[in-house]
Structure 1
Amino acid sequence: MDEQAIYAKLDRASALMFAKDMAIVDELWSNGFRLVGSEVGEIAETRDELEGLVAYVFTAPFRLRWIWDSKPVTIENDIAWVFAQGRVEFVYDRHVHPAAYRLAAIFRRAGTDWTWRLYSGSEPMPQRAWPSQTT
């Protein structure tokens, strides 16, 4: 049952982002929450920063949605965490641009609900060839 509640949180966040609904701020925010996105500058530690970041993302000419291939949930007492892998889709009027995406999220039980504590998203890069060390 707790696992399903966490899945519902992931699904709701994705639906609100796709709808460009500012209710996403209320969905994610709790005192102490932190969002760390995949791009430079995508960090929000206060409600105002989260609201500003979301408003900025919503000005883009696309909608975002996440499709998860795996999203295992681990729960210990009142803490749960997810490491989800899949893709983010940038949905434009005439095409969809998919990109690999990873999410590490932490939740804390608050009564009968779960609150977001950390959202850390990333778009993994292709494996790079490491430069050789010169002496």
Structure 2
Amino acid sequence: MTKFLFFFVCMGVILPFIFLKDVYPFHRFGMFAEPVKHQSQYEKFYIFYKLKSQNKFTELNPQSIPLNANAFEMQLRKHHYQKKHAIFITIFEDIIKNKINLKEDEKLEWKWYHVIQKQDSKNEIDSLCVFSN
């Protein structure tokens, strides 16, 4: 009985090493393993608006709406990745028109920017206009 128990314990220890396809677990969790590095990046969204008759764009700030800055950023990110830029902007277009007393027929021009700065390239910022009307 003890021989069978010894055999099964040995097989339980040895078999996983027999079925290994590579030595990755030894490199990852071994004595000489490198620490885990996460590719972090800085990601920010900006929305600008202006009247068609004006020349200067104004940034849409959560304080000017008024809305919580974290909730605003979360909604920007959500609508960007769901590709619902136009829906998000129509909601704020009504708010801005009411705030600055615009007529219903006056149109606002919008620009939505997605800015990315990766951690390894400190000086290179990638800016992309993802929505414009």
TM-score under structure 1 length normalisation: 0.23
